[in-house]
Structure 1
Amino acid sequence: MRKKISLKEQLRLGQVFAPCIWDCVTARAAELAGFQATVLSSGALAWSMLGMPDLGLLTIDEVVFATQRIAAFSSVPLIVDAEDGYGESPLHTYRTVSRLAEAGAMAVMIDDTTGIRGWERQLYQDSRLYEVIGEESWLAKVKAAMKACEGTDCMLIARTEAKFKYGMDEAIRRCRHAAELGAPMTLAIGIRGMEDCRTLAAAVPGSKMYPDVKSVKGVPDIELDKIKPMGFDLVTLHFMEKAVEYGLMDYAFENFKNKSTVYSDQHDMGGLGQKLPAGSFSTYKKWLDLEQECNKMR
Structure 2
Amino acid sequence: MPGAFNALSARMIEREGFPAAYLSGAVLSNSVGGVPDVGMMTLTEARDHARHIASVTTIPLLMDADTGYGEGPYNVARTVRELESVGVSGIHIEDQVFPKRCGHLEGKQLVPVEEMCEKIAAAAAAKTSPDFLLIARTDARGVAGYDEAVRRAHRYLKAGADGIFPEALSTREEFARFARDVKTILLANMTEFGKSPLLRVDELAAMGYGLVIYPVTLQRVAMKAVERALRTLKTERTQESLLEDMQTRAELYELLDYKPT
Do Structure 1 and Structure 2 share a fold, with TM-score over 0.5?
A: yes
**Partner Cα separation in structure 2 for residue 280 and residue 95 of structure 1:** 37
**Partner Cα separation in structure 1 for residue 212 and residue 251 of structure 2:** 29
Q: CA deviation at 1:183?
A: 2.0
Q: CA deviation at 1:21?
A: 1.9
Q: CA deviation at 1:210?
A: 0.5
Q: Is 1:243 matched up with 2:226? A: no
Assess, with a 3 A threshold, how the Cα gap between structure 1 residues 222 and 126 changes in structure 2: closer, same or farther: closer
Q: CA deviation at 1:52?
A: 1.8
**Partner Cα separation in structure 2 for residue 110 and residue 56 of structure 1:** 12
TM-score between both structures, scaled by the size of structure 1: 0.78
Q: Is 1:197 matched up with 2:175? A: yes
Please say if residues 90 and 141 of structure 1, whose CA atoms lie closer than 8 Å, have aligned partners that are also in contact: yes
Q: CA deviation at 1:233?
A: 0.2
The one-letter amino acid paired with 1:279 is Y
**Partner Cα separation in structure 2 for residue 179 and residue 253 of structure 1:** 50
Assess, with a 3 A threshold, how the Cα gap between structure 1 residues 150 and 192 changes in structure 2: closer, same or farther: farther
In structure 1, which of residues 138, 141, 146 is the aligned counterpart of residue 124 of structure 2? 146
- 2:142 is paired with a residue whose SS is helix
Task: Give 1:95's aligned residue.
Answer: 78
Please say if residues 5 and 219 of structure 2, whose CA atoms lie closer than 8 Å, have aligned partners that are also in contact: no
The one-letter amino acid paired with 2:67 is D
Task: Give 1:209's aligned residue.
Answer: 187
Q: Is 1:223 matched up with 2:200? A: yes
**Partner Cα separation in structure 2 for residue 247 and residue 226 of structure 1:** 30
- The worse-fitting range, judged by mean Cα deviation, of 20-29 and 254-263 is 254-263
Quote the sequence identity (%): 27
Task: Give 1:23's aligned residue.
Answer: 6
Provide the alpha-carbon RMSD of the alignment.
2.6
Task: Give 2:136's aligned residue.
Answer: 158
Uncovered stretches (5+) of structure 2, i.e. residues with no partner? none
Q: Is 1:35 matched up with 2:18? A: yes
Q: Is 1:66 matched up with 2:49? A: yes
Paired residue total: 258
- 2:2 is paired with a residue whose SS is strand
**Partner Cα separation in structure 2 for residue 76 and residue 231 of structure 1:** 23
Q: CA deviation at 1:152?
A: 5.4
Task: Give 1:55's aligned residue.
Answer: 38
1:127-146 mapped onto 2 (5 Å cutoff): 127=106, 129-146=107-124
The one-letter amino acid paired with 1:207 is I
Assess, with a 3 A threshold, how the Cα gap between structure 1 residues 193 and 173 changes in structure 2: closer, same or farther: same
- 1:109 is paired with a residue whose SS is strand
- The worse-fitting range, judged by mean Cα deviation, of 130-139 and 224-233 is 224-233
Q: CA deviation at 1:130?
A: 1.5
In structure 2, which of residues 243, 256, 259 is the aligned counterpart of residue 282 of structure 1? 256
Q: Is 1:187 matched up with 2:165? A: yes
Please say if residues 215 and 221 of structure 1, whose CA atoms lie closer than 8 Å, have aligned partners that are also in contact: no
- 1:19 is paired with a residue whose SS is coil
Deviations 1:158-189 (A, max 9, x none): 11111111011111111122223442211111
Assess, with a 3 A threshold, how the Cα gap between structure 1 residues 214 and 50 changes in structure 2: closer, same or farther: closer
Task: Give 1:174's aligned residue.
Answer: 152
The one-letter amino acid paired with 1:92 is N
Deviations 1:48-75 (A, max 9, x none): 1222211210001000000111100122
TM-score between both structures, scaled by the size of structure 2: 0.89
**Partner Cα separation in structure 2 for residue 257 and residue 280 of structure 1:** 32
